[in-house]
Amino acid sequence: MSAEIKSRNEQVWPVGLPRNLHFPETSLYFNLQAAAARYPQKPAVIFYGHEISYQVLIEEVERLAGYLEKCCAVKAGDRVVLCSQNSPQYLVGYYAILRCRGVVVPVNAMTVEDEFDFYVTDSGARVAIVAQDIYPRLAPLVRKGKVQQVVVHTYSDYLPEQYDVPLPERITEPRQTLTDPQTTAWFEAIQSGFHADETMPVADDLAVIGYTSGTTGLPKGCIHSHRTILAAVAASQAWRGNAVSDVTLAVAPLFHFLGMQGGMNIPLFMGSTVILLQRWDREAALLLMERYRVTTWSAPPAMIVDLMAHPDLPHHDVSSLVRLMGGGAAMPEAVARRLQEDFGIRYNEAYGLSETAAFILGNPPLRGKRQCLGIPTFDVQARIVDPLSLEVLPQGDVGEILLSGPQVMLGYWKNSKATMETLVELDGGSFLRTGDLGYIDEEGYFFMIDRIKRMVNASGYKVWPAEVENIMYAHPAIHEACVIAAPDPRRGETVKAVVVLREGHEECLTDEQLMLWCREHMAAYKVPRIIEFVDALPKSATGKIQWRMLQDKAKVEQNGLS
């Protein structure tokens, strides 16, 4: 970080926080040990009303770790696939793998057979922990011998006998009989009577190989040690002021770093309580926020946008919520303003990637800016550079965001070429190339323009979809919008907006009317030439709008016309 940027950051640095942190020299498992020793009877997880204390949680972790060691021969450095929707079993499985010094390979719960084949083959995992509804997609690899041992869990095993919360589809399915000899039912493994060896994981052991989404090719496995993940955990906790008394709503998928850190690792680091939802449901979220007086929620903007659209929201008490934070996509300005004005909630936006175990840039909690990534946090260096020359650009110029810090990954698993392209040496330090375009303002705050690969080139004019989307969210009839590049025989590419209207506005707005509104609020070359109204936008399991899917669809449709 240049002296000039550092000086600007010091003027807005959170009062009372040090510039540098002493990061933990322990393991993620040690956090659970410490919390269980301090607060054995405190609820660690509440799953639709079913409470699991820290003492019970660590006991189940120890038992499952013993089974993995003694019956599955998992040893230090072995990769273990973990695939499930959010559930108590996910937390137990995650920490059990770490307990026996294994490496967690978190896999998206929507993964299909061919994708499983890639993750298993690439990671070299021979053991898996999966949910009952997911196992049929993994079973062909088990029968081919690519996966040798599988522990299968059932969500309903951890539901309370009585509940009054809306439940997701399939969560109540009873336990099914397993017929493949390589499979073991969850409680059979937990009750096997085995205990893990005394050797504990250490800070520099590998902890997680988290695969990127693979939108521009095959997914790449981001290698993280306990040290790199804990650096992000400790930095986020110190920056936001998370406390032992927190009650955290965990609904972002735990297989993604946003959910893994904000919904699991940070609360267990503090010894606080997690209110766990299997998947997003705004009725359930609102009910549980009120009932348990949720204080902290880390979520992608799409979930918050959906909650804010709830017609009965003003009649619910969400006053306990003091920390609302997220990243992964920009929070629409209009939604952030309503949060502040109507509910007194400051949305704390931050920035991170799978390559940084989430948190690395953050807005100062009391001096945050909207639509902003924040400033470099503890021991982090950040630059804006020319994407070709990697030379540092002046303040205000748009370039690629480069990052250096203790939470940056060690590299990509079995992919030295991608590692060398992404982790570059500059001025004697290692920097991560993010592939994101942004700039720095006069106070040293970082702003993102868009992904480099997402730019729309319309007759030579550069259009950044995120900028157009942000403006469109200010229209009172728009619930969600996604802007993409559509092929155009004359302009090369043209701007297309795919729009979801608010309930009750479906018949009140035409594409011509919306285009006219856009012309009044943005430069002519940015105005969408094509507008498509849809009932819903495709989203990933982490709540991100899948813009590439819409863009590919637009290309197919254009090719069909030509």
Full domain range(s) for residue 134: 3-10+28-436
- Does residue 81 sit in the same domain as residue 209? yes
- Indicate whether 128 belongs to any domain: yes
b/e per residue 552-562 (b: at least 16 CB within 10 A): eebeeeeeeee
Phi-psi label, residue 426: left if phi above 0, alpha if psi -120 to 50, beta otherwise: beta
pLDDT of the residue at 370: 87
Which strand (E) or helix (H) includes residue 404? Answer: strand 399-404
- Indicate whether 22 belongs to any domain: no
- Does residue 372 sit in the same domain as residue 478? no
Lookup result for tokens 């038992």: 63
Exposed, middle or buried: residue 302 (CB in 10 Å: 0-12, 13-18, 19+)? Answer: buried
- Does residue 365 sit in the same domain as residue 394? yes
- Among candidates 243, 350, 332, which has minimal Cα distance to 296? 243
For residues 329 and 344, give the distance between their C-alpha atoms in angstroms, rounded to a whole number. Answer: 22
- Indicate whether 118 belongs to any domain: yes
- The residue ranges of the chain whose pLDDT is under 50 are 215
Which strand (E) or helix (H) includes residue 323? Answer: strand 323-326
- Does residue 329 sit in the same domain as residue 471? no
8-state DSSP, 493: E
Q: CATH number of the domain that 192 lies in?
A: 3.40.50.12780
- Does residue 414 sit in the same domain as residue 546? no
pLDDT of the residue at 5: 63
- Among candidates 281, 288, 295, 353, which has minimal Cα distance to 324? 295
Looking at residue 237, its amino acid is: Q
Which strand (E) or helix (H) includes residue 322? Answer: none
- Does residue 248 sit in the same domain as residue 385? yes
- Indicate whether 295 belongs to any domain: yes
Looking at residue 330, its amino acid is: A
8-state DSSP, 102: -
What's 329-388 look like in SS3?
Answer: CCCCHHHHHHHHHHHCCCEEEEEEEHHHCEEEEECCCCCCCCCCCEEECCCCEEEEECCC
**Domain stop point among 368, 401, 436:** 436
The set of residues, in sequence order, having a beta carbon less than 8 Å from that of 516 and lying 6+ positions away, is: none
- Among candidates 368, 349, 367, 369, which has minimal Cα distance to 359? 349
Question: Angle 241-377-266 (CA atoms, 0-180°, nearest 5)?
Answer: 40
Looking at residue 70, its amino acid is: K
- What tens digit of pLDDT does each residue of 438-487 get? 999 999 999 988 777 777 877 777 788 888 998 899 999 999 999 999 88
- Does residue 396 sit in the same domain as residue 428? yes
Lookup result for tokens 């919904």: 263
Lookup result for tokens 């294994």: 102
**Domain stop point among 403, 436, 469:** 436
- Indicate whether 196 belongs to any domain: yes
Q: Answer whether 387's CB lies under 8 Å from 372's CB.
A: no
- Indicate whether 23 belongs to any domain: no
For residues 199 and 206, give the distance between their C-alpha atoms in angstroms, rounded to a whole number. Answer: 15
- Does residue 407 sit in the same domain as residue 496? no
Give the 3-state secondary structure of residue 560: helix
- Does residue 274 sit in the same domain as residue 335? yes
pLDDT of the residue at 363: 96
Sign of CA dihedral 47, 53, 56, 59: positive
- Among candidates 513, 47, 56, which has minimal Cα distance to 276? 47
Sign of CA dihedral 510, 514, 515, 520: positive
- Indicate whether 449 belongs to any domain: no
- Kindly state the greatest CA–CA separation across the chain: 70
- Among candidates 402, 378, 405, which has minimal Cα distance to 392? 402
Q: Tell me the CA distances in angstroms from 4 to 9, 15, 396, 443, 498, one per residue in order.
A: 9, 20, 13, 10, 41
| Residue 479 CA to its chain's centroid (Å) | 22
Give the 3-state secondary structure of residue 238: helix
The set of residues, in sequence order, having a beta carbon less than 8 Å from that of 504 and lying 6+ positions away, is: none
- Does residue 503 sit in the same domain as residue 369? no
Both tokens of residue 218? 């095959």
What's 250-282 look like in SS3?
Answer: ECCCCCCHHHHHHHHHHHHHHCCEEEECCCCCH
8-state DSSP, 86: S
For residues 294 and 313, give the distance between their C-alpha atoms in angstroms, rounded to a whole number. Answer: 15
**Domain stop point among 387, 402, 436:** 436
- Does residue 420 sit in the same domain as residue 533? no
- Among candidates 269, 265, 362, 276, which has minimal Cα distance to 323? 362
Query: Total structural domains in the chain?
Result: 2
Strand partners, 211: 221
- What tens digit of pLDDT does each residue of 457-469 get? 777 777 888 889 9
- Packed helices 282-292 and 301-308: angle between N→C axes, nearest 10 degrees: 90
Q: Answer whether 528's CB lies under 8 Å from 483's CB.
A: yes
Dihedral angle of Cα 100, 105, 106, 108, to the nearest 10 degrees: -150
Q: Answer whether 227's CB lies under 8 Å from 26's CB.
A: no
For residues 116 and 140, give the distance between their C-alpha atoms in angstroms, rounded to a whole number. Answer: 10
pLDDT of the residue at 559: 67
Q: CATH number of the domain that 499 lies in?
A: 3.30.300.30
- Does residue 511 sit in the same domain as residue 373? no
Q: Answer whether 182's CB lies under 8 Å from 139's CB.
A: no
Please give the model's pTM, rounded to 2 decimal places: 0.84
For residues 35 and 54, give the distance between their C-alpha atoms in angstroms, rounded to a whole number. Answer: 7
- Indicate whether 464 belongs to any domain: yes
